[in-house]
Chain A
Amino acid sequence: MTDFVQLIISGLATGAIYALAAIGFTLLWQTSQTINFAQGEFVMLPAFFALAGMTALGLPFSLAALFAVACSLAVLGFAFKFLIVDPLIGQKGTLPLVISTIAVALLLKDGAKEFYSAEGQRFPTILPNDVVAIFGLKISLDQIGVLVIAVATIALLQWFLAGTRTGRQMQATAQNPTVARILGVNVERMILLTFLINAGLAAIASLLISPIYLVKFSNGEVLGLTAFVAAIVGGFNQVRGAIAGGLLVGVLDNLAAAYVSSRYRLAVPLLLLVVIILFRPQGLLGRKEERSV
């Protein structure tokens, strides 16, 4: 039983990180109809920025983390929007953008491998990794720390979306860009803001998950897949859904690794995806009506 609870807690910790990636994915889809197949690579890359900041520029870890966030905003936010997405606006359908983000995924993956290293890299953490015993449960503090930071980030984002003027303008843009524009919302700026938020979330997710796994160029495959599954399971058109989906996938993933088979742990989220698509395609928290695209 204690094992079970410990697994749930560590599952929630990784799940919260998945949720960060899934939220960014959902936001991009809502405001700009960008299905970002490079989302996993977006989470893989910032850790490399931090490592590069430490080894090449000699920065201490805390500054390197800030450097990573700044690089992510520049590369995964600005550059991604202006160089990849904007030139494709006006083309028929969403297929060109899908293909383009797939190419970006391969580019980032091979770029990290060729320009940094193909080997898995250790990544420092600012969180203490002591283990404390509460009610007979052995809980490691870094998991609690991850959970706290991720939840705080999500809460901040929710407050921004619902409580500020800019956030509500973003929501309006997501729901109906045309009407939003008529009402005087600067739609272009809101879309850019979404890309930047996505890049920021990816950077935070990257810094949180990298001490758990080694930093490796191929991390994006699994992370991306998990983020897609989390977003679809929760409900594609809902930020709340992405949170629920992320936590659910994290916990299931952890339980599967412990009780089913570690070799097939990756198959469990996939199975979940198929079940959801078969029986509840709008996702657990999704609404049935969709926006027309």
Chain B
Amino acid sequence: MRRALALAAILVAVAALLYAPQVLSRYGNFVLASWLVIAIAAMGVNLIMGYAGQESLAQAGFMGIGAYITAHMLKGGSLAFDLFWIYPVVLTWTPFSMFSAIAASALATFLMGILIAFPSLRVQKHYLAFVTLAFTVFLWLVFRNEEWLTGGVFGIQDIKRPSVFGFEMSPSRRHYANFTYFVIAMTAIAAFVMWWIVHSPWGRAFTALRENALRAESLGIDVTGYKLLAFAIGSAYGGIAGSLYAPLVEFIDPSPFALAPSLLFLLMIVVGGMGSLAGPFIGAAVAVVLPLFIEKWQSELVANGFAIFSHFSYVIIFSILVITTIAIAPRGLAGLFADLTKPRRRPHSDDKGARLGEVKS
């Protein structure tokens, strides 16, 4: 029954997603695609945190790596060839450029993930959090200071949305929906791969890790190896999201890849539901789509004389939401929803039955 319900929900969601780009405005398409891109990055954090029990404070930084790599490959200037000389020229040729950019971003962030997680996983529990924190700050310094590579604070402009399989994806009136469809397809693939990772026999180790790391270890699972793998795959999801983010916004600068956005990813997962497949989507919706509505309500309230509300930025509301969610619903909104839809089961033994030491007649 619940399985059927979940399947129906997924089908309705897919149908709505396929229909939405046609009816939404250009701005609506932008919001929809942003939500999905953020959700892809959040899926990575979910794997790292919800399954491997590690904190990554670097997801926005990994998004930045993917975004800058993609910006260079799509712009295809001389720098792109200098930097990616290992890539055959054919891969930066237009029809393949988007896919090779995604692949390059995923590969780079995967390797980077292994590189920073390896030393810190050997030692104490929370050291990965501190190392990723340091890594994000360091990346931000690089993004801001290395003008030859990243354009510094001015960033990289005019990133063209490429065409894929002959579909034009430019943000013009006729084509903007195509890019949204492309993002939807990529999200579907990413979500399916994530589902496979946690459900395949090989991926069950991740679930074992989540349930009880100590027991997993005693069952012969290489806990550190799987944590490392989870971190690297999760970071690669960040890279892929960044790779989609660059052509989505067509202009990148260091600010969305700083420390605060990285922290927001963590909070998103907690609100959405850690260790659940729907969690990243719910969390990203709360973080990306909700602020747009709140902004509207807020300006109405302020216009009606409640000037105090002009001070409540979205971050303030969101962080209070997170603090209360952790305290009252540790499994997030997804967990709350699951609890509400779960059929109420009667306790197996009735209360008047045998207690310890009593003989039930």
Binding site for B on A (CB under 8 A): 35, 37, 84, 87-88, 91-96, 98-100, 102-107, 109-111, 113-115, 221, 225, 228-229, 232, 236, 263-264, 266-267, 270, 273-274, 277-278, 281, 290, 293
Contacts and interface: CB of A to CB of B under 8 A. Distances in A.
Contacts of A99: 266-267, 270, 322, 326
A231 to B, nearest CB: 9
Contacts of A93: 53
B137 A103 contact: no
B119 A270 contact: no
A263 B131 contact: no
A39 B130 CA distance: 13
Given A95-B53, A110-B316, A114-B313, A102 B263 contact: yes
Interface stretch (B73-81, B120-128, B199-207, B249-257): B120-128
B223 interface: no
Nearest to B54: A95
**Which has the most chain B C-beta neighbours within 10 Å: A94, A103, A277?**
A103
15 contacts: A87-B327, A94-B125, A96-B330, A98-B129, A99-B266, A99-B270, A99-B322, A106-B260, A106-B318, A229-B134, A264-B145, A266-B137, A277-B120, A277-B123, A281-B124
B312 interface: yes
Main SS at interface, chain B: helix
B233 interface: no
A232 to B, nearest CB: 6
A106 B119 contact: no
B137 A107 contact: no
B263 A267 contact: no
B131 A103 contact: no
Given A228-B130, A266-B141, A107 B123 contact: no
A98 B123 CA distance: 18
Contacts of A228: 130, 133
Contacts of A95: 49, 53, 55
A286 to B, nearest CB: 10
A92 B274 CA distance: 13
B126 A35 contact: yes
Interface in B141-176: 141, 145
- Chain B contact-residue range equals 35 or more
A114 B119 contact: no
A86 B121 CA distance: 29
A100 B321 CA distance: 10
A110 B134 contact: no
Contacts of A232: 127, 130
**Which has the most chain A C-beta neighbours within 10 Å: B320, B327, B330?**
B327
Interface string B318-332: 111011001100100
A223 B24 CA distance: 44
A110 B313 contact: yes
A84 B319 CA distance: 12
A111 B119 contact: no
A281 B127 contact: yes
B163 to A, nearest CB: 39
